[in-house]
Amino acid sequence: MSVLAVLEQRGGAWNRASFETLAAAQQIARELNATAMAAVLGDAIDPLAGELAGKELAQVYAVEHELLKNYTPDAFTIALRQLVESAKPTLVLFPHTYQVRDFLPKLATSLGTVAVSDVVSHRVEGATLVLVRQLFQGKVNADVRFCDGAPHFASLQAGAYRADRLAAAAGSPAPIEKVTPQLSPADIRTRPLELFRESERAVDLGAAEMIVSVGRGIQEADNIPLVEKLAKALGAELAASRPICDAGWLPMERQVGSSGQTVAPKLYMAIGISGAIQHLVGMKGSRVVVAVNKDANAPIFEMADYGIVGDLFQVVPELIAAIEKSKGS
């Protein structure tokens, strides 16, 4: 039995979720009495494979090909299918990144199976692995089990496992096997062009000590100044969940979440934010979380240290008054 972690890199730099997946693979392998292995795909990845060899792993695969330099779902699927067919892992784990979402369902389908995506935790019952995922925007949890033969595939939500639990190699480094997949340019139907950014970020929310963040509950653009006033009273940066930035009510650079910035302030105040998973992964490192929401069952309250269940249009003006009063006293 073996657990293979497939890690993500771009241009020689790791995706930050990669080592969370590697730590999860080590942990699950220990619990299942299996060996842990890791794979990295790309072009010129020797330094990355060397870094992996320093971890507690039975095997490192360096899957190298010039057609893997720039990501395409076709090349990644073909290369990984070949790797899985030769390495024969029982379980293959991925970080649940945008890139993995783009190819993992295709890879699993091409092997006639289904990947369990966006897993938040697991447990081992006897010899059976039970994965936990969130349904209905985080309102319900589900235990999921594989019921076909190996290989099994799963992707892990960012932040669900801790990279600082990663074990280094106890003795000699793990062996590295270089793998050259059978790939030809004719296999690749999409043509990826250069990466670009739209604008330089003027606001570094990552450095903010306090953040007041606003979500759908604010209802319309004309109501944004109310939250802005709260941020000002606290001396906090103003941020938002995705729908607010999509609507153009606040600039994209103020967006917190998986497609925006990841923040870890000492105080994060979520106003009218229900707490979709995509938002929570961007702010769950915050020290103290306050939520104001009219829905007592909103997932944001799962994260909150303090909460007010109520109409934000009534609560926020009172909060501003109370903060100003407290600062004045």
Partner 1 sequence: MKIVVAIKQVPARDSQLRIAGTGKWIEESDLSYEINEPDAYALEAGLQLKEKHGGEVVALCAGPARAAQTIREALAKGADRAIHVEEDVGALDPLAGARLLAAAVRGESPDLVLTGLQSDDMGYGQTGVILAELLGLPHATIIMEVEVRDGSARVKRELEDGWFQHVEMPLPALLAIQSGISKLRYATLMGIKRAKTKPIRRVTAADLAMAPQSACIALDRLYLPERTKHTQLFEGNPKQAAAQLVEKLKFEARVI
Please state the length of the chain: 329
Q: Which is nearer to partner 1, 82 or 134 (CB)?
A: 134
Please list the residues that pair with 293 across neighbouring strands.
309
Pairing of strands 128-135, 115-125: antiparallel
Are 249 and 240 in contact, with CB atoms under 8 Å apart? yes
Find the shortest distance in angstroms from Cβ 72 to partner 1.
8
Measured between alpha carbons, how far is 216 from 224 in angstroms, rounded to an integer? 11
Are 292 and 270 in contact, with CB atoms under 8 Å apart? yes
Q: Which is nearer to partner 1, 65 or 101 (CB)?
A: 101
Q: Which is nearer to partner 1, 176 or 298 (CB)?
A: 298
Q: Which is nearer to partner 1, 63 or 291 (CB)?
A: 291
Find the shortest distance in angstroms from Cβ 179 to partner 1.
23
Find the shortest distance in angstroms from Cβ 113 to partner 1.
5
Q: Which is nearer to partner 1, 173 or 310 (CB)?
A: 310
DSSP state of 169: P
3-state SS, residue 210: strand
Find the shortest distance in angstroms from Cβ 142 to partner 1.
5
Q: Which is nearer to partner 1, 170 or 193 (CB)?
A: 193
Q: Which is nearer to partner 1, 127 or 170 (CB)?
A: 127
3-state SS, residue 136: helix
* H or E element that contains 77: helix 73-87
Q: Which is nearer to partner 1, 171 or 189 (CB)?
A: 189
Find the shortest distance in angstroms from Cβ 246 to partner 1.
3
Give the side-chain half-sphere CA count within 13 A for 254. 20
Are 259 and 278 in contact, with CB atoms under 8 Å apart? yes
Find the shortest distance in angstroms from Cβ 1 to partner 1.
19
Find the shortest distance in angstroms from Cβ 44 to partner 1.
20
3-state SS, residue 155: strand
* Cα–Cα distance list, 323 to 217, 234, 269, 314 (Å): 21, 7, 13, 15
Find the shortest distance in angstroms from Cβ 173 to partner 1.
30
Q: Which two tokens stand for residue 78?
A: 């073909």
Nearest in space to 61 (alpha carbons), one of 75, 90, 82: 82
The rounded radius of gyration (Å) of the Cα atoms in the chain is: 22
